[in-house]
Amino acid sequence: MSNSAFRAVFWDFGGVILESPFDAFLRYEAENGLPAGFLRSVNAVNPDSNAWARLERNDISPTDFDAVFHSESQALGHAVPGAAVLALLAGAVRPHMVDALDTVKAAGYKMACLTNNVVGGDKKTSARAREVDAIMARFDAVIESSKVGCRKPETAFYEIACSTLDVAPHECVFLDDLGINLKPAAAMGMHTIKVIDSHEALRALGEALGLALLQP
């Protein structure tokens, strides 16, 4: 059983359980003659109301996103179809993270996946769908931006997660690969871990929970 003051662990999906889509963004940029970091720079303009934010809240369809992202990127000097960006989102599963999910769950912690996602965005093939579904089945709850109508880093998103698992923010550990998503969670009282190196993140999580999460 667990031996910490925490009761729940919140996990981001892409960039934490999955490899970061930003690696795929960089490859696409190199292959298409775009400046490194260009796709992320498009998403950084008007971050609460741009095409990406609207898609993750399910305010627009993937078809609409294709056109709106194309327009936004064109305004910044390089026209990129939104459909091309969506095709880059499915990263490979990190098996050691899935093993950690099992260890944390077996120790008695509540778990939720907190993901900014898009409708139908990650189920490319039946094999991929089964792999993702098997991971999601480990969580007590999956909080999806496309279903709840808000997204990280909006405070309401974290409030929904806490309410769903019936925990207070100070009882939660939250792992995400983006500092912008961690900042409001930390302000609410969550213990946050930024996932830059996934193994280092698991060491930090293990220390917080009193668990051995990495194989020797």
SS3 203: helix
Residue 2's pLDDT is 57
Q: Which of 63, 86, 109 is the last residue of a domain?
A: 86
Residues 205 and 150 in one domain: yes
Q: Going by C-beta distance under 8 Å and a sequence separation of 6 or more, which residues neighbour residue 211?
A: 2, 103, 104, 107, 205
Domain span including residue 186: 8-20+91-209
Residues 142 and 198 in one domain: yes
168 located within any domain: yes
Predicted structure pTM score: 0.81
CATH number of the domain residue 56 falls in:
1.10.150
153 located within any domain: yes
Helix residue ranges, H only, 88-154:
95-106, 126-136, 145-148
Residue type, 51: A
2 located within any domain: no
Residues 121 and 144 in one domain: yes
**Sequence-separated contacts (24+) of 27-34 with Cβ below 8 Å:** 28/84, 28/88, 32/80, 34/78, 34/80
Residues 82 and 110 in one domain: no
List the pLDDT tens digit at each of the 216 positions of the chain: 455 799 999 999 999 999 988 888 999 999 999 999 999 999 999 999 999 999 999 999 999 999 999 999 999 999 999 999 998 887 889 999 999 999 999 999 999 999 998 876 554 557 878 899 999 999 999 999 999 999 999 999 999 999 999 999 999 999 999 999 999 999 999 999 999 999 999 999 999 999 999 876
Residue 125's pLDDT is 59
216 located within any domain: no
Q: Which of 86, 104, 119 is the last residue of a domain?
A: 86
**Cβ–Cβ < 8 Å for 184, 150:** no
CATH number of the domain residue 197 falls in:
3.40.50.1000
Residues 98 and 203 in one domain: yes
Lateral strand order in the sheet of 141-144: 141-144, 110-115, 8-11, 172-176, 191-194
